[in-house]
Amino acid sequence: MRRLIYGLTAAALVTPLVVGASVVTAPSAVPTAEIMVFYADGGQRAAIAAIEAGGGRAVSTEPKLGYVLAKGTDPAFVNALGRSEAVVGISTDRAIGFASAALGARGRIPSAGPVGGAATGSLGLEGRTASAGSAELAEHSASRGRTEKGARGASSSPLAHADARQAPTGDPRLPVAAGQGSAPAGDPGLSADGGPGSAAGDLGLSTVGGPGSAAGDLGLSAAGGPGSAAVDRRGDSAGQVGQARQLVQAGGGAQLAGVVADGQLPDGSAVRGSAAEPLAARQWDMRMIGADRANRIAPGTKKVLVGIIDTGVDGKHPDIAPNFNRELSRNFVTDRPNDPKGQPFDGPCEYKGCKDPVDVDDDGHGTHVASTIGSPVNGKGIAGVAPNVQLVNLRAGHDSGFFFLKPSLDALTYAADNGIDVVNMSFYIDPWAFNCTSNPADSQREQLEQRGIITGMQRALDYARSKGVTLISALGNGSIDLGNPRTDIQSPNYPKESSRTRKIDNSCLNVPAESKGVISVSALGPSGRKAVYSDYGIEQTDLAAPGGDALDGTSASPLRSILAAAPKGAMLRDGKIDQNGMPKTASVVRDCHGSECAYYQYLDGTSMAAPHATGVAAILISRFGRPGEGGVAMDPAEAERLLYASATPKACPTPRAYVYDYFGQKETHTCEGDEDKNGFYGRGVVDAYRAATLSP
């Protein structure tokens, strides 16, 4: 694989601004606001002239993506720039994007990313994701949706209110795997080391023989305590459906009308004896797409580089380290302890200069994504879809879960320039859940801002695709028909309390899920149905993959969510494990080998679905890629064709108007299209085994 000089940063992606033969110099007055000014083709000089005419100054340019980094002092500066025909979009000093596996009550206000030594603003805000069993099911990962209220105004998903209901007590007596010890009566005890599982009636998933969590606890407690969900709209529904999952606080009984009986689900309760990977029996998702069989014949190759654009990757995790490429990994963000108002944002800086190393993930979202894609077959924990590929951390998200525009653009540009074969994007761009170019409900400044998001991301995506990068994204967790959005009640979500209700239509885009050239993935529960939180739409859904759904059954259970690696530090900080390293919630599993222990967590969301598709793409590139930069290469159009060809077609449900019925509340999602292409499953469910055996 191609190796680069360690230490290359985002600064190398931005060039000093040169007009003619001279470098633009700063005027005597020091401007304050920093923005990205996207110019039309051939419009760089005119854009710079407009910047100077407005009283600002140009700092640097990024010719690959067609923008000028500028500073200006007057609040009217942006509007003045908008009057120039050369300017097609402007990103102001707002934070952009959000994805997180542990939102909770942490503050979330945008900050800025480094650009050639200067902090660059963008847009962004609010979180959504969750840790499965712990009510943490609704996600944004990225990958990227929005809360279930996104397109329905006053009405919202029944899951949004489920936390107000308490389910009847129940005892989901799950079988214990052979050789995994026993547990007290009534305990599904999934202890891997033969010791007691947890208190009777608990779904505690301790794998080291210690207690799991409090008796009768499904890890679905309210926000703030162990098991609470962080509502993430992006890709892991672990927050939205997560909060809704706070519903089962009394023993996991909650009866859910109109869903598959638990005994019929191929979820984590179907523990089937030992396997090479100790926790493999809980990976219903891998069995659903045939990855367990594909691992044996086409596990991928180290020549394939998979980029994880997310909150970071715990490169020291025992179930990630063997495949983690530290040399190529980059962190494009600098932590900010507090927001501009002095409120906690990323929290205290752990490292000098507030710059986390490339093998750190203080959130857990990116680590979960990376693990699903490429955890190795090493006798520890789980195995990913493509266990032999290399994982490259392209961090664009802050500890707090926000994604700023500049780091996101830098991550895509870096991927393009350094031989990355496929990237996973389980996030979306804030502060606008839907970006509209000419919405009458928005001011001129807001319209320019949304045009900047659409334009900037599309240019970065196009550049990456032109360099051989296959682009895969989470579709979103808003339970929204993206082909017919009507109301956006959560934008702009930054600054705080600035959102309002505005009418929107299908011209408004969720970025990058609806950007051109991106393969967007909806989420499935263990029964194979589209997860209730998953966005959908015949124009927007390209593929479907398991993303988890803790409510896909006659009771709520974290075992129906996706299990993957979790950073110990993040689990400790979020109160999911105690000071002795013991899980305090059923959503966290501990796996020990000798003196080495590692952690895994259950999450739901399209953020969890997208990496399954990314892993399958990595298998296809490993098999059919040709020698190229970084090792092997494949035209993204060919990778896309093979992904669709290897997918298993899945028709719309009958009737097409599928009713989700939870706790007396009903919600209907209507599937359009036929088996070849429809709004729930796109061109089908990704299939790792077919990808491993496909003849092109």
Residue 83's alpha-carbon distances to 50, 87, 91, 354, 452, in angstroms, are 9, 8, 15, 38, 14
Residue 133 has pLDDT above 60, yes or no: no
Cis peptide before 492 (omega within 30 of 0): yes
Residue-level pLDDT at 189: 29
Residue 192 has pLDDT above 60, yes or no: no
On whether the CB atoms of residues 428 and 144 are closer than 8 A, the answer is yes
Phi, psi of 574 (to 5 degrees): -85, 5
Q: Tens digits of per-residue pLDDT, 440-450?
A: 999 988 898 88
Q: How many CB atoms within 10 Å of residue 74?
A: 14
Residue 7 has pLDDT above 90, yes or no: no
Residue-level pLDDT at 269: 57
Question: Angle 365-374/606-624 helices, nearest 10 degrees?
Answer: 40
Non-local (6+) Cβ contacts of 266 within 8 A are 284, 287, 288, 526
Cα 312 from Cα 414, distance rounded (Å): 15
Tokens in use for 474? 């989470």
On whether the CB atoms of residues 234 and 147 are closer than 8 A, the answer is no
On whether the CB atoms of residues 188 and 171 are closer than 8 A, the answer is no
Helix (H) or strand (E) holding 60: strand 57-62
Tokens in use for 236? 């892991």
On whether the CB atoms of residues 420 and 305 are closer than 8 A, the answer is yes
Mean pLDDT of 607-613: 98
Helix (H) or strand (E) holding 645: helix 636-646
Residue-level pLDDT at 662: 77
Q: Residue 427: which of 97, 14, 138, 688 has the closest Cα?
A: 97
Tokens in use for 664? 């007396």
Cα 516 from Cα 538, distance rounded (Å): 15
Cα 211 from Cα 205, distance rounded (Å): 9
Tokens in use for 663? 């706790």
Cα 524 from Cα 547, distance rounded (Å): 5
Mean pLDDT of 53-82: 85
Residue 76 has pLDDT above 80, yes or no: no
Residue-level pLDDT at 80: 84
Of 20-24, 451-455, 500-504, 660-664, the least confident: 20-24
First to last CA, the chain: 25
Q: Tens digits of per-residue pLDDT, 514-556?
A: 999 999 999 999 999 999 999 999 999 999 999 999 889 877 8
Q: Tens digits of per-residue pLDDT, 463-476?
A: 999 999 999 999 99
Cα 413 from Cα 578, distance rounded (Å): 40
Sheet holding 15-16, edge to edge: 15-16, 57-62, 67-72, 33-39, 87-91
Q: Tens digits of per-residue pLDDT, 340-374?
A: 667 787 888 999 899 999 999 999 999 999 999 99
Of 141-150, 264-273, 536-545, 619-628, the least confident: 141-150
Q: How many residues are recorded in the chain?
A: 696
pLDDT tier for residue 34 given thresholds of 50, 70 and 90:
confident
Residue-level pLDDT at 78: 82
Residue-level pLDDT at 197: 29
Mean pLDDT of 298-311: 97
Mean pLDDT of 141-165: 28
Residue 81 has pLDDT above 50, yes or no: yes
pLDDT tier for residue 496 given thresholds of 50, 70 and 90:
low
Residue 33 φ/ψ region, left for φ over 0, alpha for ψ in the -120 to 50 degree band, beta for the rest: beta
Cα 501 from Cα 489, distance rounded (Å): 4
Residue 104's alpha-carbon distances to 60, 167, 430, 548, 563, in angstroms, are 38, 22, 18, 20, 20
Mean pLDDT, the chain, as a whole number? 74
Could you tell me which residues are beta bridge partners of residue 62? 67
322-350: buried (b, 16+ CB within 10 Å) or exposed (e) per residue?
bbbbeebbbbbbbbbeebeeeebbbbeee
Cα 83 from Cα 8, distance rounded (Å): 37
Cα 572 from Cα 576, distance rounded (Å): 6
Residue-level pLDDT at 268: 56
Cα 56 from Cα 77, distance rounded (Å): 8
Residue-level pLDDT at 92: 67
Cα 198 from Cα 352, distance rounded (Å): 41
Residue 607 has pLDDT above 50, yes or no: yes
Residue-level pLDDT at 653: 96
Cα 74 from Cα 79, distance rounded (Å): 10
